[in-house]
A and B are shown apart, each in its own frame.
Chain A
Amino acid sequence: MKKTIHIPLGSQHISLLEPIRFKFECENEKIIGVDADVGFVHRGVELACTRSFEFKQVGYVVARVCGLCAITHSLSYTLAVEKLLGYVANDRIKYLRMLMVELDRIHSHMLCLAHTAENAGFEALFMQIMGDRELVMEVQEAISGNRVQFDYISIGGVNRDLTSDLCDLVRKNLTILSEKMEILTGLFDNNWSLSLKYKGVGVLSLEDAYTYNALGPLARASGLATDVRAETSDFPYEALGYTMILESTGDIHARNFVRLREIVNSITMCQNIVDNLPVGEIQEKVKGKPKGEDIIRIEAPRGELFYLVRGNGTNILERVRIKTPTFSGIPAMMEVFKGSQYADAPAILASFDPCMSCTAK
């Protein structure tokens, strides 16, 4: 006789990097229903942006929404305000901003891959990926001055220039990382124990990806061709070698492979940026106070990051709306769990690369 039981996962769990609680309804080992509680790290950032800080300070506030994609938060906000002020950055500033966003994507994807390896019980691979990730972290620290909270982007430009020495460091470290990625790709593709844990597990069908508005690597692993880098014209991604990475099986293996291939593509873009860096100022004067309403979409490592900013011509904004990728992806994630085995839940969860600091903000 089938027996229905309720099993919680989280809010603190060995497989979680941040607090989230799932309540699984299971028939024996099979998950038939799921509920999620995501608000453990709510900090009231949207309120703080419109009550406690002036618009010139808010870019540094929203960078604190999330440590992993701080650069995409501050870039999204800054672009929205610049649009309201009628300012368009020069090509050097655009390239430097793109460089940091793509470096951020590389290190974030590598953290996710390490985490999924750990959840498959492959500790050695976890250590190897985290070690390789230091190549990117070293570059980010050298360029921005920080490993995590970069505070690199400001209204009207960026805060530090890319010298020829830094360009050499980017080239050197990313060349080494490219070689490492070939080894990692082979491991993820061919290792027998990883295949058992990943292939055919945690499948999101293309139909469900559309129905539940999946986004980012989660959507592209199911074959849904959506990427903000291809759907906005704020940055010249195509000119720098951007390719949309798609898989079709929608399982953990496909999500890992989207990330692996996106890392390789981002490395190519970063190398093209430093090889073709335009000449120009890195900081320009932007006058005025934001008035009106505008939106910005940026492809963060986990998918589409959306900002809506409304100003009234004063230093204090009326509204800063932050819509993060994990927040939107939760309905699709919950759908994936249904029908899966409870024992696979940690590995499936890690493959979503959920960011709860972003979600709860």
Chain B
Amino acid sequence: MTKIETTLPTLLSDIEAFYKPKEWHFLSVNGIDLGEGKIELQWIFSKYGVKDEVVIYYALSDYEIPIPSLVALIPSSIMGEREIVDMFGLTVEGTQKGLYLDEDSLQHPLRGEA
């Protein structure tokens, strides 16, 4: 497993330079609450046909900062993005709440202070 740090402003260009659909399989988006309003966001990839090759791009962020969407680059990222919007109460561009929770729910269960 290789972890590569990125930032939200450079996320799209970093992923665009890295991701080749026939070479890398996009696993998911992940969030990890760090406390005090901070969160670690992860975008996880595995390589087709190669053993144990997993790359995780990660960025540290605040809950209030909007997250760029990868859907234009990776259409299947929509599910992971909808999930972090629901579970952490984040704002992801072009994504609405309502995957697991009600669309008007005020809850964000995986956020630290929940």
- A interface list, Cβ under 8 A from B: 38-39, 42, 44, 46-47, 210-213, 215, 224-226, 230-233, 294-295, 297, 304, 306, 308, 310, 318-319, 321, 323, 327-328, 330-332, 360
Contact = CB atoms under 8 A, between A and B. Distances in A.
B38 interface: no
Interface in B43-62: 44, 46-54, 56
A319 B112 CA distance: 11
Contacts of A233: 51-52
Contacts of B1: 294-295
User: Chain B, interface size: which category?
Assistant: 35 or more
B37 interface: no
A69 B77 CA distance: 24
A310 B99 contact: no
B100 interface: yes
A233 B52 CA distance: 7
B99 A38 contact: yes
A226 B49 contact: yes
B92 to A, nearest CB: 15
A211 B49 contact: no
A45 to B, nearest CB: 11
A44 B52 contact: no
B52 A211 contact: no
Interface of B: 1, 21-22, 25-28, 30, 32-33, 42, 44, 46-54, 56, 74-76, 78-80, 87, 98-101, 109-110, 114
Residue among A230, A294, A321, A330 facing the most chain B CB atoms (10 A cut-off): A321
A213 B32 contact: no
Contacts of B49: 225-226, 230-231
A360 B100 contact: yes
Contacts of A331: 75-76, 78-79
Given A306-B44, A319-B32, A213 B26 contact: yes
Contacts of A297: 46, 54
A215 B79 CA distance: 14
A231 B51 contact: yes
Given A213-B21, A230-B51, A321-B32, 18 more contacts: A39-B98, A44-B109, A47-B114, A212-B76, A213-B25, A225-B48, A226-B48, A295-B56, A304-B25, A308-B44, A319-B33, A323-B27, A323-B28, A327-B79, A328-B28, A328-B79, A331-B79, A332-B76
